[in-house]
Amino acid sequence: MVILGVDTALRCTGYGIINANGDLFKTIDCGLIKNRKELPQSKCLTRLYYGIQELVKTFKVDVAAIEGAFFGKNVRTTMILGYARGAVMTALSSLDIPIYAYSPKEVKMAAGGIGTASKEQVATIMSSFLGIDISQLEFDATDALGLALCHANRAMRQDSLYTLNSPI
């Protein structure tokens, strides 16, 4: 199963793609979809939509994992993140890709067994678990890999510790 994890943002969206085969997980690709600050929001959302679609088609993605609902103190920031999340979800849904949402705590638990892990700790765990060099990766990409790994754990290892949510 090819899983796309997406850490959504308007200007810098992280993505991580892994192949899950039983208990074996392999990193296929990870990186960022970046939008310049001078681009209007509408162009950023369009670039995000097509960027996600290109990843799905290029890597033959089967399923996607994104962060669940986001609650922020700044209403404007929360709205913009919601727009970006909507663009990602629409891009995935238009290609019939099932989407699963996980809270940051669930992702951190799946990555390292600690729901309060820092971004640095998650990145280090992704490095050792998936055999990648994180020195050149941004946290948005390693967070996206964490989302993909979280879904892989839920989908491939369904037991009392991991249960699979319904797609959103």
Enumerate the domain spans of the chain. 1-155
What is the predicted pLDDT for the residue at 168? 85
Local confidence band at 162 (pLDDT 50, 70, 90 cut-offs): low
pLDDT tens digit sequence for 94-109: 999 999 999 888 887 7
The residue from 29, 38, 62, 67 that is catalytic is 67
In the residue annotation, 7 being an active-site residue is answered as yes
What is the predicted pLDDT for the residue at 39? 97
pLDDT tens digit sequence for 112-129: 666 666 767 776 776 766
State the DSSP string of 79-140.
HHHHHHHHHHHHHHHTTT--EEEE-HHHHHHHHHS-TT--HHHHHHHHHHHHT--GGG--HH
Say whether pTM exceeds 0.85.
yes
Cα dist from 53 to 4, 6, 72, 87, 118, whole Å: 11, 12, 28, 10, 30
DSSP structure class, residue 165: P
In the residue annotation, 140 being an active-site residue is answered as yes
Cα dist from 123 to 9, 34, 138, 162, whole Å: 18, 20, 9, 21
| Interstrand relation of 24-34 and 2-7 (parallel, antiparallel or unpaired) | unpaired
Local confidence band at 156 (pLDDT 50, 70, 90 cut-offs): confident
What is the predicted pLDDT for the residue at 114? 63
The residue from 23, 54, 120, 140 that is catalytic is 140
Percent of all residues in the chain with a pLDDT value above 70, rounded to a whole number: 85
In the residue annotation, 67 being an active-site residue is answered as yes
The residue from 7, 106, 138, 143 that is catalytic is 7
Task: Return the CATH number of the domain spanning residue range 1-155.
Answer: 3.30.420.10
